[in-house]
A and B are shown apart, each in its own frame.
Chain A
């Protein structure tokens, strides 16, 4: 083995993989949450649908997204592999363990919390990512009056009312004063999916898992990287708790709830 494989097959090296991919996934969550705020805009989903086109066509975003998928896979499988190996390090279990006396339950439940998240990611990606890429999403036509700035949206259909399709994600052209935008209506798909109370329940439940996973995971990642110092420990703890365990999961949970309760 050369030094590189040796390093990443050591216990610390394997944790390093989990930490680096985990912290990278944390940065993704920030982008994902901020971008998806477009869902809350009352413009018939135009900004959200345009944001979706940007996210699926921009070459830089696309490159990062492949890195992201790889990180999810590495993080999940390395994490679960370590859970399995760590169980083997104690073949005979204790008759009585008082775990809460010495550690927070989230830190002892990362495998379970992570598995809930993995199941959620599969469901989430088949709901939207798969549908958008390979499934059928109807188009919507937005008409923007360029003098008044007024925007109206309607389904992209022919005279008979049958859904029409174009062979790309988006088309833009100008007729007189109006700018016409025809785009895949993922917003409509989102609002349809989130009429299902079971799915909304799963999404909200999964966000609790995200919150508890990141409550420990964010600061744990820094510890694994060796970044533990009184000068910034409090900042890491603060960001991990407020941003990653409270604000972000709450924002994400608000999205299905918004469609289920408000829309």
Chain B
């Protein structure tokens, strides 16, 4: 696939976490408007490899917008100029011929750069393992309808559960706060009966882990919600705040 678009990329290059890093400029020619942003990077990397240079490292996996692996900060916004999509679902038709595009990694103390545009998001994994689960008995699954769940709550829990953990919320936030991610993961269980047994301890543990990872606090700018590729609502943050405050005032042991 080739086309007639030319773009200039200003890409963050950083050998490893100890390297200071710098922007490097690469002209990319013959770009098709139908290419995804990542495919355009593939074209650049193919060329860099044939020139004997180090290709640009970036995270990607499913390229279908559902895995949450891709993570580029494009022209000052996570996942680029479109709303509700990840970088892999961003196409070059969203840019103009001869555009200069600035591409950076997610920047947060809690997301150290591994190399170039790839950052280590295992802080999210540690937050999840601190409480982002429910306890289920082994054996046959019980009948799904044996636990009645209101439609409203089911819908809100589903909406929260669409979070793919990409970290765009952290990247977009001026405080590098993970409140949207953590609140989605708290809410998806807090709204369902299955999440009740561990509800109080969950919110305490996940918030404590979030703080320990070095994320900032929430200024309620709403940038996370606006940039989230899955449209997670900041009403989840309010729910987590409610749960956190309520738990602190009511928990028996903790």
Contact = CB atoms under 8 A, between A and B. Distances in A.
Nearest to B251: A3
Contact of B221 (A107, A224, A229): A107
Given A92-B107, A226-B238, A228-B234, A103 B73 contact: no
Contact of B219 (A12, A91, A107): A107
Interface residues of B, number: 52
B223 A99 contact: yes
Interface core residue of A90, A99, A101, A104 (most chain B CB under 10 Å): A90
Interface stretch (B29-37, B87-95, B133-141, B172-180): B172-180
A130 to B, nearest CB: 33
Contacts of A13: 248
B213 to A, nearest CB: 10
A162 interface: no
B176 A107 contact: no
Given A89-B109, A90-B176, A96-B104, A110 B239 contact: no
A107 B224 CA distance: 13
B237 interface: yes
A228 B187 CA distance: 14
A108 interface: yes
Contacts of B27: none
A89 B108 contact: yes
Contacts of A12: 207, 217-218, 240-241, 244-245
A11 B227 contact: no
Interface in B174-202: 174-177, 179
A86 B241 CA distance: 18
Among B10, B81, B107, B110, find the residue whose CB has the most chain A CB atoms closer than 10 A. B107
Given A89-B215, A96-B75, A102 B226 contact: yes
A187 B218 CA distance: 43
Given A11-B210, A228-B238, A85 B216 contact: yes
Given A89-B214, A102-B226, A95 B104 contact: yes
A216 B77 CA distance: 22
Interface residues of A, number: 41
Interface in B1-23: 10, 12, 21, 23
A224 B220 contact: yes
Contacts of A104: 221-222
Interface of A: 3, 7, 10-16, 82, 85-86, 88-99, 101-104, 107-108, 110, 216, 219-220, 223-229
29 contacts: A3-B248, A3-B251, A10-B207, A11-B177, A11-B207, A11-B210, A12-B240, A12-B245, A86-B176, A89-B177, A89-B216, A90-B174, A91-B109, A95-B12, A96-B104, A97-B76, A101-B77, A102-B222, A107-B221, A108-B174, A108-B219, A223-B237, A223-B238, A226-B238, A226-B240, A226-B243, A227-B242, A228-B237, A229-B235
Top 10 A-B pairs ranked by shortest CB distance?
A226-B242, A98-B76, A228-B238, A89-B216, A86-B175, A102-B226, A86-B216, A226-B241, A11-B217, A107-B221
Interface of B: 10, 12, 21, 23, 73, 75-77, 81, 102, 104, 107-110, 172, 174-177, 179, 207-208, 210-211, 214-223, 226-227, 234-235, 237-246, 248, 251, 254
